[in-house]
Each structure stands twice: as structure tokens, then as C-alpha cells.
């Protein structure tokens, strides 16, 4: 791979990483506003503890230990430890029999028998209790594993949910910043000054990321940092949302040129300007290519910032090593004398 191709790859990966970082921060705020994790956990518990009247789920949800892990007094927590779930479930089961006596395996089994018949929760808990063979500690361990398995499935569902959000946000951000993959490849391939500037910025970012934390961190301030600014920071990149946007602006590789509208004749002189909406094949072709480029960028953004910044480090290292010498050159160097 020649140096130009490597620089094009470095430029694309850098842009994808910065935009992915921006979308990750935006997605985190959106999920926090809609309380997506807590809502999905609540639905998962409803499925896990499904019975006819929903009393078992309600008792577990309102348990003092579960409420203690929630950020509010009424909502579900975003994360629930398996040990907390098991204790809340056991307390809910024994409360159906007699809450004043010590917890025993028999009382738990009697509590399970009080769950309405033909309930999924009753069937599952009876199966776990039978496998424990009267051992309370073994029963607790099996209940915790049952919960962990359900949470693993929930994690997969949540990851797919986040990926869809990142895909949608990626297209919006790509359209807003004019991050057209086809246009980026064209510009990186033909504009050497831009290619060099982006490659230099990528190298600086990789060096900063590899620097020891003690050397990279500023001196501790006596004033507590702003919580909102800390939440905006993207751990995978070491940058924050405002820094990402400023870096993209300084690179002058994206963002629409809002001062002019171009036609097919002068589009090459102003690659960042929008095309004048003329009902011609040329304008429709431009629109089709633009949509394809934006969709490609959105797909890349949905992969996530950690992937792109890890790949950026490898691409920069490959660029710094330079091309491998040809066999003829290597042979000549080996046979040449002083």
C-alpha cells in the first residue's frame, strides 16, 4: 500500500472516530433522558417474574434494596446486581408465607407454591429449587445465575438498540457536517495539503493517547470539575464533544459551505457547497451520490468510536514505518560493500 493510500485511510479513520465520539456522547444523553436502560431492565424483570397478577414483580421492584440502587424514588435502576435481585426475590417469596420466621429453604419453596399455577415464574423457580436439592446456598446461586443469564440477553438487546440509535444519529450528524465518505475519499486522494494536515492531526492524537496518564493529565485544580463537562467526555478518545467539533472545523475537511450554491460547472471549485437544485440528471446524480456517501459514513459511525480510534493507532503506526523495501533494494543493500 503506497503512502497516499495509507494517508487516505488515516484521514477516513480519524473522521469516523471523531464523528463516532460525537454520536456516542449524544446517544448517551438521549438514553439518559428516556431512561432507556431502566425501562429495558423493568421489562426484562416483568418477563422473568411473569405470573398472573404481577404481584411477584411488583414486590421485587418495590423492595427497599432495589429502590436503593435507583437514582429516583419511583424509577427502576439502570443496573441491578444478581445478589440484590436474589435477596429481593427471597424476601418477596417468604412474605407470602410468614415474614417473621428465619429464611429457610422450606419457606422459600412454600412461597413458590403460593405463586399462581401455570405461571412462568413458578415453573422456573420450582425447577431451580428441585435442582438445589434442599440446599439454600445452592438455590441462591442458581437464582443468581438465572438472573445473570437474563441480563446477558438484555445486554445483547440493549447493544442492538444502541447500534440503531448510533446509525440514526450517524446519518443526522453526517448530513449536518457534510461527512460524505465518497467526497472525503476524493478530497484526501487529490488534495495533498489537506491529506498531510489530517495525517499530522491523527499522529498528534495517537501520541497524546499513548502518553502516560501522569504526563498527559493537568495539575489537580482546587476547584471541583464541572459535572456536566465530565459527562460530556468520551473515554475512548480522550476528547470531549466541543473539542471534536473544533478539530473538525480546523481541519476544514467537512461542514457545508453555506455562502454559495454551486452548479455542475463550478462544483469542483467548491466541493463543500450544496448543489443548486436544478431538475437535471446532473443534480439528481449529485443527490444520489451524496446520499450514498452519507449512508456509508453513518454505517461506519454505528461501529463505535473505540473501534475507529484503535484502528487509527494501527494506521498511524503503519504510516510511520513507511513502505516495505522491495526485494531488489534489499538485495542491493545487502551485497553493497563500504
Is 265 part of a structural domain of the chain? no
CB 4 within 8 A of CB 316: no
The reply to whether 62 falls in a domain is yes
Query: How many angstroms separate the first and last alpha carbons of the chain?
Result: 32
- Please report where in the chains the cell 438472573 appears, as a residue: 147
- Report how far residue 199's alpha carbon sits from residue 193's, in angstroms, rounded to the nearest whole number: 10
Q: Domain residues for 121? A: 34-157
CB atoms within 10 A of CB 255: 15
10-residue stretch averages of pLDDT, the chain, 338 residues long: 84 92 90 85 90 86 88 76 94 76 86 88 93 93 95 90 93 93 90 86 82 46 34 42 70 76 79 77 86 96 92 84 54 50
Note whether residue 322 is domain-resident.
no
Q: Is residue 263 part of a domain?
A: no
326 located within any domain: no
211 lies in a domain?
Answer: no
Read off the C-alpha cell for 67: 429502590
Q: How many domains does the chain have?
A: 1
Q: Is residue 138 part of a domain?
A: yes
> Is residue 327 situated within a structural domain?
no
Name the one residue in this structure whose C-alpha cell is 426484562.
44
CB of 97 within 8 A of CB of 90? no
Amino acid at each position: 500500500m503506497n503512502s497516499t493510500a495509507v494517508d487516505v485511510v488515516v484521514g477516513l479513520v480519524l473522521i469516523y472516530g471523531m464523528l463516532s465520539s460525537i454520536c456516542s456522547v449524544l446517544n448517551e444523553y438521549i438514553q439518559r433522558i428516556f431512561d432507556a436502560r431502566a425501562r429495558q431492565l423493568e421489562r426484562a424483570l416483568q418477563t422473568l417474574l411473569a405470573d398472573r397478577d404481577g404481584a411477584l414483580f411488583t414486590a421485587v421492584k418495590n423492595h427497599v434494596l432495589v429502590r436503593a440502587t435507583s437514582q429516583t424514588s419511583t424509577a427502576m435502576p439502570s443496573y441491578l446486581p444478581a445478589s440484590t435481585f436474589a435477596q429481593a426475590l427471597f424476601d418477596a417469596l417468604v412474605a407470602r408465607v410468614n415474614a417473621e420466621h428465619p429464611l429457610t429453604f422450606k419457606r422459600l419453596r412454600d412461597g413458590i407454591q403460593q405463586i399462581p399455577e401455570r405461571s412462568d415464574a413458578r415453573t422456573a423457580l420450582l425447577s431451580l429449587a428441585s435442582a438445589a436439592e434442599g440446599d439454600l446456598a445452592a438455590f441462591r446461586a442458581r437464582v443468581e445465575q438465572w438472573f445473570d443469564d437474563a441480563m446477558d440477553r438484555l445486554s445483547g438487546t440493549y447493544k442492538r438498540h444502541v447500534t440503531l440509535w448510533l446509525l440514526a444519529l450517524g446519518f443526522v450528524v453526517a448530513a449536518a457536517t457534510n461527512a460524505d465518505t465518497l467526497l472525503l475519499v476524493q478530497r484526501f486522494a487529490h488534495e495533498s495539503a489537506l491529506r498531510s494536515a489530517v495525517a499530522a492531526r491523527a499522529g498528534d492524537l495517537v501520541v497524546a493517547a499513548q502518553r502516560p496518564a501522569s504526563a498527559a493529565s493537568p495539575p489537580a485544580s482546587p476547584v471541583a470539575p464541572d459535572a456536566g463537562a465530565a459527562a460530556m467526555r468520551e473515554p475512548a478518545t480522550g476528547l470531549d464533544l466541543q473539542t471534536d467539533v473544533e478539530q473538525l472545523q480546523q481541519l476544514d475537511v467537512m461542514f457545508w459551505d453555506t455562502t454559495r450554491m454551486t452548479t455542475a460547472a463550478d462544483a469542483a471549485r467548491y466541493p463543500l457547497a450544496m448543489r443548486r437544485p436544478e431538475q437535471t440528471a446532473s443534480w439528481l446524480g449529485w443527490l444520489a451520490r451524496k446520499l450514498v456517501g452519507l449512508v456509508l459514513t453513518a454505517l461506519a459511525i454505528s461501529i463505535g468510536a473505540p473501534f475507529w480510534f484503535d484502528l487509527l493507532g494501527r494506521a498511524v503506526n503503519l504510516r510511520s514505518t513507511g513502505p516495505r523495501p522491495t526485494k531488489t533494494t534489499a538485495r542491493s543493500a545487502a551485497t553493497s560493500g563500504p
